[in-house]
Amino acid sequence: MSSISNLQQRDIETLIHPYTNLAAFRQTGPTVIERGEGIYVWDTEGKRYIEGLAGLWCTSLGYANAEMIEAAREQLSKLSFSHLFGGKSHDPAIALAEKIKELSPAPASKVLFTCSGSEANDTQIKLLWYYNNARGLPAKKKIISRHRGYHGVTVATASLTGLPANHADFDLPIDGILHARAPHYYREGEPGESEREFSSRLAAELEEMIEAEGPDTVAAFIAEPVMGAGGVVVPPETYFEKIQAVLAKHDIMLIIDEVICGFGRTGNWFGSQTFDISPDTVSLAKAITSAYAPLGAVTVNEDVYQAMLEQSRKIGIFGHGYTYTGHPLSTALGLKAIEIYERDDLIGHVRTVAPAFQSRLMALGDHPIVGEARGVGLIGAVELVADKSAKTPFEPKLGVGREAARFCEEEGLILRPLGDTLAICPPLIISEDEIEQLFDALARGLDKAQAWLAKRD
């Protein structure tokens, strides 16, 4: 413990860190980030890193954007807080809701703001149940998510999330949440099966699940366009086309979680557009403000809105919302972020630099410890394996992904290990030269991981 600084020790004794081995953490302490600029952050020791996961998939405009900072200052000096309860409102919330309606890949009659993606997806569940009660379908409440999907950490959204660590000893998932197979062709495809055949099989499995449960009991299917925390899984050919056909047949709503993919990450405004998805509603967060302030949102289509009106007449009030729903600072920053995205054609920039990003990413598929490199736009991952030909994973107790991420940090690159998969998701403002720097550091980190593994044999 002698190498732990005073600041690190204070952290250990005061903070709970999400998604951290809290026992091991007491020995290592935190990496304390002090400042950021562009795609880089610096720790308290003065070491510079490429922020290769855009914080947590969210800092699209990078750090220290002067326009975002000034927009925050202006809003705080004008109206630091006002709420939306009881019919109160303010201009930033109105204007941002209008902009979301204009851009949304889902039919949006109204927008309901939250403070995070978890809250957005939790709200989706509540509105879905509310809607089906309003239309006289009280049994139509089950929601189908997917293994390895990630939709949040509230009691309900952690149940949607299909990752074991989010369920273990939390007494989750709650009743009424089901999980279909993950659309990961590399891991779930059968020998000789094409991507299209794999997609057909998953659609057939989904239909079997719906029919076994009873279509009158299933309300919705929720999915990310690209699975994020589940390993950056890009959907196989025809997957969403075939899934949507099954849902339409059984009057099941499609909720698309755009929390990671939304606002340019895949080369379009939304992942739904990249993969030809026609959602009934979308959940938004993260890049909506480039993470300069917390904000989430849910789009509400006209049918659901009309049901909400009827319930308000019956009950006397719409009993949902948060103190910070539509916070003026957050909504002002959402407006400014979208203004910058549009003015600077950030979507066009992503399309311009994505080929270089994907080329360097796919080249890592040849590395001796990489089983699969996968991605789209400016998001990707490398999955580390013990045997490339057999796709044999490493023993979990080795913590190969964690060690590989540590070696990358030694090389000045912050990534996120998702088990033995390293996720890559840089700020969207990254240049081609910076992409080269990122992948040079990642290659050096993988080489160090390979050497570390060789010493263990």
- Across 23-150, the runs of DSSP E, i.e. the strands, are 33-37, 40-43, 48-51, 110-114, 142-146
d(CA 256, CA 272): 8
The structural domains of the chain, with segments of one domain joined by +, span 31-64+345-456, 68-343
Q: How far is CA 276 from CA 235, 261, 419, in A?
A: 11, 13, 30
- Across 327-401, the runs of DSSP E, i.e. the strands, are 370-376, 379-384
Q: Name every residue whose Cβ is closer than 8 Å to that of residue 360 and which is 6 or more positions away in sequence.
A: 435, 436, 438, 439
Residue count (the chain): 457
Residue 453 backbone phi and psi in degrees, to 5 = -65, -40
Sign of CA dihedral 134, 138, 140, 143: positive
Q: Tell me, what DSSP letter sits at residue 321? A: -
141: closest CA among 97, 163, 110, 174?
174
d(CA 334, CA 347): 16
Q: Model pTM? A: 0.96
Our CA dihedral for 158, 183, 189, 355, rounded to 10 degrees, sits at -120
Q: 235: cis peptide before it, omega within 30°?
A: no
What angle do the packed helices 91-103 and 328-343 form, to 10 degrees? 40
d(CA 318, CA 127): 11
Bridge pairing between strands 40-43 and 48-51: antiparallel
Q: Which residues of 13-36 are buried (b: 16+ CB within 10 A; e: fewer)?
A: eeeeeeeeeeeeeeeebbeeeeeb
Structure tokens at 430: 């990254």
- Which amino acid type is present at position 189? G
The yes/no answer on whether domain 68-343 falls in CATH 3.50.50.60 is no
Sign of CA dihedral 345, 351, 354, 359: negative
Ordered alpha helix ranges (H), 346-389: 346-363
Please state which of the four CATH numbers 3.20.10.10, 3.90.1150.10, 3.20.20.140, 1.20.120.1770 is assigned to the domain occupying 31-64+345-456: 3.90.1150.10
Per-residue pLDDT of the chain (457 residues; tens, 9 = 90+): 347 899 999 999 999 999 999 999 999 999 999 999 999 999 999 999 999 999 999 999 999 999 999 999 999 999 999 999 999 999 999 999 999 999 999 999 999 999 999 999 999 999 999 999 999 999 999 999 999 999 999 999 999 999 999 999 999 999 999 999 999 999 999 999 999 999 999 999 999 999 999 999 999 999 999 999 999 999 999 999 999 999 999 999 999 999 999 999 999 999 999 999 999 999 999 999 999 999 999 999 999 999 999 999 999 999 999 999 999 999 999 999 999 999 999 999 999 999 999 999 999 999 999 999 999 999 999 999 999 999 999 999 999 999 999 999 999 999 999 999 999 999 999 999 999 999 999 999 999 999 999 998 7
174: closest CA among 159, 152, 153?
159
